[in-house]
A = this chain, B = another copy of it.
Amino acid sequence: MGRPLQTLETPALLLDEARMDRNIERMRRQVQRLGVRFRPHVKTSKCYEVARRTMEGAEGPITVSTLLEADHFAERGVKDILYAVCIAPNKIDHVLALQARGVRMSIILDSVEAARLATQRLAGRGVGVLIEIDSDGHRSGVRPDSPELLEIGRTLEAGGVPVGGVMTHAGSSYDCRSSEAIRAMAEQERAAVVQAAARLRAAGMACPVVSVGSTPTALFAGQLDGVTEVRAGVYVFFDLVMAGIGVCAVDDIALSVLATVIGHQREKGWTLLDAGWMAMSRDRGTASQPLDQGYGLVCDLAGRPLQDHILVGANQEHGIMARRPGASGEPVELQVGQQVRILPNHACSTAAQYGAYQVLDPDLRVRATWQRFSGW
């Protein structure tokens, strides 16, 4: 018998285990169909118990966004880790320390400048070095058709560091507005790295790894010919941003914040909750979507949305719940002390505000508490 929600101090971060397992199974089937390896990104959960269920085996592989994530998973036996942010020189000692304890580390870079710095420290050390490809213009990476791509490869190989492969992340998929658009973005992502790998290989570099990934493109890709592995992270929980682009349904979202009513401003239609931006994060990812969910969509304790009730405002420890602007009808009346659950805009940023997940069983009881970590 787990602990009932009513006994938790709020705010608290709830994890619906059944929904999470369903999301993991959906990705597993898709990756199997695509016929590629899966290298889950652990930056969303930063929690071994969650990430382990997404991994092919106890040794990985995994993707990390910080070297603290690498440390944490290395301590638990993971042996194959891709650090998917372009390397800064002040992190190379840390990468080498991980490699020295038996982890196959891979890093990424996207410039001749960084390639030169990397060769000075990494020649002969066995760390995999991938070249980041810009497949959609959203952030970092070198264009797959650019002269600089080959120059980076040659700089690495001349410095004694073989090109380990190419990788890209089509972050623009988060801005797509239809399944067709996401499918097209997945093909654009695939084509970019495959083209880059072909150019490097034509120039005599082996380039064994061809890595792509984002939750939307991984789930909607039609085929991944020429790709060796796919990465994704947020699918494990999903969130309102993902629901807003049609990648999941609202009732696939496995993460919610338990909050308590602490007061009202009735003439304004406001219910005050003890979950503000510290509990939800300042993420307003749905603000640019057709349906703006404020700081989160408010649900009852069973996880059913209180139709059109969202957090319209947030201070550090106060959330202002009200009907969505323009919504008709009467606001739901809640009593002081009553609990609600709030679905987050962005699972990565909301989860980062907490030290633990309260894991819910099908009877809405807390059957376990799973620790998560933060920082660098």
Where the two chains meet, the residues of A that have a C-beta atom closer than 8 Å to any C-beta of B are 6-12, 43, 65-67, 85-91, 94, 109-111, 113-114, 117, 134, 139-140, 171, 260-265, 272, 274, 277-279, 281-284, 313, 315-318, 320, 335-337, 339, 348-349, 352-355, 374-376
Knowing A90-B9, A318-B140 are in contact, say whether A114-B375 is a contact too (CB < 8 A): no
> How far, in whole Å, are A201 and B130 apart by their CA atoms in the complex?
72
CA distance A349 to B315 in the complex (A): 11
Pick the residue among B6, B9, B316 that contacts A94 (CB under 8 A): B9
* Interchain residue pairs A-B with the least CB separation, the first 8: A282-B282, A88-B260, A86-B262, A89-B337, A113-B336, A282-B283, A65-B317, A355-B375
A88 touching B10, Cβ below 8 Å = yes
Give this chain's copy count.
2
Asked whether B263 lies within 8 Å of A86 as measured between CB atoms, the reply is yes
Which residue in B43, B140, B277 is a CB contact (below 8 Å) of A316? B43
A336 to B91, CA, bound (A): 13
Contacts of A66 in B (CB 8 A): 317
Point out the residues of chain B lying under 8 angstroms from A11, CB to CB.
Answer: 376
**Interface pair B282/A318, CB less than 8 Å apart:** no
Given known contacts A90-B10, A139-B315, A85 and B353 CB-to-CB distance under 8 angstroms: no
Closest Cβ neighbor of A234 among chain B residues: B316
Query: Given the complex, which residues of B lie within 8 Å of A90, measured CB to CB?
Result: 6-10, 260, 337, 339
Q: Which among B114, B261, B279 is the interface contact of A263 at CB below 8 angstroms?
A: B114
Interface of A is mostly: loop
| Bound: A315/B317 CA distance, A | 24
Complex CA–CA separation, A281 to B277 (angstroms) = 10
A35 to B87, CA, bound (A): 54
Give Cα A349 to B279, complex, Å.
Answer: 11
Task: Find chain B residues with CB under 8 A from A337 CB.
Answer: 88-90, 117
Interchain Cβ contacts under 8 Å between A and B, 7 examples: A9-B91, A65-B278, A66-B317, A89-B337, A109-B263, A134-B265, A355-B375
Task: Specify which chain B residues have a CB less than 8 angstroms from the CB of A315 in the assembled complex.
Answer: 139, 171
- On whether the beta carbons of A262 and B9 are closer than 8 Å, the reply is no
- Supply 9 further A-B pairs (C-beta < 8 A) apart from A89-B260, A89-B336, A89-B337: A7-B90, A9-B90, A10-B90, A86-B272, A117-B337, A279-B376, A284-B284, A355-B374, A374-B374
Determine which of B43, B65, B111, B353 lies in contact with A264 in the assembled complex, contact meaning CB atoms within 8 Å. B111
